[in-house]
Structures are given as C-alpha cells and as structure tokens.
C-alpha cells in the first residue's frame, strides 16, 4: 500500500541530507515548484511517476524503498549537484590553467587575455566617467 506520509518523510530526509531547501530540490525536476515538493513532504499529495523516476536516478535508491521503507540517512548518496559542480570546476581549472601544449594554443590564450584586458580597461574608463 502506498504511504504518502512515508514517501514525504523520505523526500524530506533526502532534501536535508543534500543540504538543500525545498526550492532548490524542486529545481532538479521539470515542472516542479516548492509548493509541490512541500505537498509531497507533508503527505498531502502523491508524487508523480515522473518525479519518482527522476528521484530514483538522482539517488540510485529503488522506488519501492522510497515509497515503503524508512530511509536511513547513510543510504542516501551525496547530492548529485555537489559532484557535478566539483567536476565542472575541475574541468574548467584544468583547461584554463594547464600549460599550453602548442604554439597556436599559446597564441589563442594570449589573444584572449589581451581581449579581457581591453574590456577591463573600457569598463574602468566607463566607471571613471560616472
């Protein structure tokens, strides 16, 4: 039997484990808002199948466990956003700060830096005029 209260407790536990607020959690899902998440957490409405499938993908937890079982916080993986942000920053850092391997790559970097400096100079001039 489906238990709206149990799934609400599990969703709330996931939100807390991920260090999010309901709005941030809602932003992970298409067509979702904080009020809908709140209705799930409070047990006043049943989560959609689409929501549950995405939640399963994000957590790796079986839908049956999310619906019926009481989750142990240790079972909930870290937020997928933390991993994505870390990976994104790592890739950006490696791309921007590794030594150029070829002369054209070095030229491209120098050109980009010159363009950034010109833009900064223009921005400073505009600010000084005000």
List Cα–Cα distances, 16 to 35, 52, 77, 85, 102, in angstroms.
Answer: 17, 18, 12, 19, 47
Into how many domains does the chain fold? 2
- pLDDT tens digits, 93-113: 666 666 666 778 777 877 887
**Is 64 in the same domain as 96?**
no
**Is 64 in the same domain as 92?**
no
Burial category of 129 from C-beta neighbours within 10 Å (exposed 0-12, middle 13-18, buried 19 and up): exposed
Q: Is 48 left (phi over 0), alpha (psi -120 to 50) or beta?
A: beta
**Is 72 in the same domain as 105?**
no
Residues contacting 109, CB < 8 A, separation 6+: 100
User: Domain residues for 15?
Assistant: 4-78
**Is 95 in the same domain as 106?**
yes
**Is 72 in the same domain as 87?**
no
**Is 25 in the same domain as 58?**
yes
**Is 85 in the same domain as 59?**
no
Pairwise pLDDT comparison (99 vs 60), residue with the higher score: 60
> 85 pLDDT exceeds 60?
no
């Amino acid at each position: 039997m489906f238990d709206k209260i149990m799934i609400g407790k599990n969703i709330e536990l996931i939100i807390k484990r991920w260090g999010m607020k309901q709005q941030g959690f809602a932003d992970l899902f298409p067509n979702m808002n904080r009020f809908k998440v709140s209705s799930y957490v409070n047990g006043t409405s049943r989560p959609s199948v689409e929501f549950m499938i995405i939640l399963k993908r994000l957590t790796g937890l079986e839908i049956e466990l999310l619906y019926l079982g009481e989750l142990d916080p240790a079972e909930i993986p870290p937020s997928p956003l933390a991993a994505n942000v870390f990976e994104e920053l790592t890739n950006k850092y490696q791309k921007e700060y590794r030594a150029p391997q070829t002369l054209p790559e070095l030229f491209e970097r120098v050109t980009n830096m010159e363009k950034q400096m010109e833009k900064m100079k223009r921005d400073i001039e505009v600010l000084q005029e005000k």
